Structure 1
């Protein structure tokens, strides 16, 4: 985790969207497209691609490591005056994200590295049931990416 800090108070969001998805691979592109479209709709098209990648990686991790059969996972997208955030909540709080070394031939294992490289900050919040993994992209004045 990098730069762990508490999530913003929902009352301080300029925009906020929440949707739950079934724990199936087809949910990942749906979430990715929704998050990208929200970034565009909220006036930050330059951040849409990176936010979509973050959502894709966090959703993939939730699907592979955090979901239980017949339990939905939730994707929350929010905009504050200074950042775009994507947060993914799944029901398996005992399975925390952990970076591991990957080899060039590995098909998996680079998701958190991608999150770490793209996000301005990211963290994990343990919940009573489950966990939320979130990542933020800083925005400069005028809406450009920081």
Structure 2
């Protein structure tokens, strides 16, 4: 399906409380920013939810009074999704197939690039999606 509506360009972010009940709000927020026919819209929303879930499990953001931020940077050819937490308790890594631990596999399968950085302020995990070819970003 051809995209007929463009998402706004630029960067937008929103903080969320570090609660499991926020995962639906993360998904709804991301879906609300991207037009219905936007390329890879559902991939971006699923990856946002997976990264936010990892944030609650593996970072200080999942503690009482914790929080995390979801940021989208949109250009004419890419979407860069970032989830910023309050610092790691553990560093998530893919595990053998079991009832959990599939989130990073899903993220790596859906995103074109995934990376993270840990600083004194916390951890930022990025997932980049190519949504169009050519053109300047």
Q: TM-score range by the shorter chain?
A: 0.7 to 0.9
Large movers: runs of 4+ above 3 Å: none
Residue in 1 aligned with 2:124?
A: 132
Contact 2:11 2:74 in 1 (8 A): yes
- Give TM-score, length-normalised by structure 2: 0.82
Residue in 1 aligned with 2:14?
A: 19
Contact 1:23 1:71 in 2 (8 A): yes
> Root-mean-square deviation (CA), in Å?
2.2
Residue in 2 aligned with 1:52?
A: 45
- Give TM-score, length-normalised by structure 1: 0.77
Alignment of 1:82-93 (within 5 A): 82-93=77-88
| Runs of 5+ unmatched residues, structure 2 | 1-7
TM superposition shift of 1:94: 5.2
Alignment of 1:8-87 (within 5 A): 14-40=9-35, 45-66=38-59, 67=61, 68-87=63-82
TM superposition shift of 1:141: 4.0
